[in-house]
Amino acid sequence: MARLAGYGVVLVPYWPYTFARSEAAADAVLVTNWREDGPATALVDPAEPHSAPGIVDVSPGPDHPFWVIETSSFDVAWPLHFDIESTLPPYCLVGENDASISVQGPAHIPDPEILIAEGQTVVERRTMPGDVQVIELAYEHEGERWWQEHYLLPRKGGRVLVFTAQSREPGIVTARHALEWMLALD
């Protein structure tokens, strides 16, 4: 499970959940708990933080001037234009144009070629600072052009975290920028 930390607080949601940015305040978060009887929501404004039983627990936390997604294995910055959903462990980010960012691992990936699915074309391979390997792919799905990138972030013991971003054509730049901004925190 992921939690959010920043602005002097930590938000621990009740599963299943969604974190979404709110227009109520620049740093406010709308937390939704998905229940059998329908969604329950709470707005958390760090200026006046409070818990909402069964939705989110709020406690004092780090004073970052931005939100950080924390898990037991890694921390990353929460990018703009993406909601956090508990649909895939530890979480999935979802945005416009069916854009998504997911994380797998840490795991041993003996050959990054296993990340290339049938029907995908390799557009580019590159290495970013910190020995992060990147594989950029293109493919067609239901008649539309899609883009996908895998970022393999090295961890101890030869393991990697695999961050995967994908989007339909209109959202490529936003998804790539969001993922690279997330990884800048590591």
Instruction: Please report, for the chain, the start and end positions of each structural domain, with discontinuous segments joined by +.
Output: 1-70, 91-186
Q: For residue 129, how many other CB atoms are within 10 A of its CB? A: 7
Do 68 and 185 form a contact (C-beta atoms < 8 A)?
A: yes
What pTM does this model have? 0.91
Q: Are 155 and 162 in contact (CB under 8 A)?
A: no
Classify residue 119 as exposed, middle or buried by CB count within 10 Å of its CB (0-12, 13-18, 19+): exposed
For 91-186, the fitting CATH number among 3.40.1000.10, 2.40.50.140, 1.10.10.60, 3.30.365.10 is 3.40.1000.10
How would you classify residue 131: left for phi > 0, otherwise alpha for psi between -120 and 50, otherwise beta?
left
Tokens representing residue 16 in the block: 């299943």
Total H helices, total E strands in the chain = 1, 15
pLDDT in tens, the chain (186 residues): 799 999 999 999 999 999 999 988 889 999 999 999 999 999 999 999 999 999 999 999 999 999 999 998 889 999 999 999 998 778 999 999 899 999 998 999 989 999 999 999 999 999 999 899 999 999 999 999 999 999 999 999 999 999 999 999 888 999 999 998 888 855
Looking at the DSSP bridge assignments, the partners of residue 6 are 9
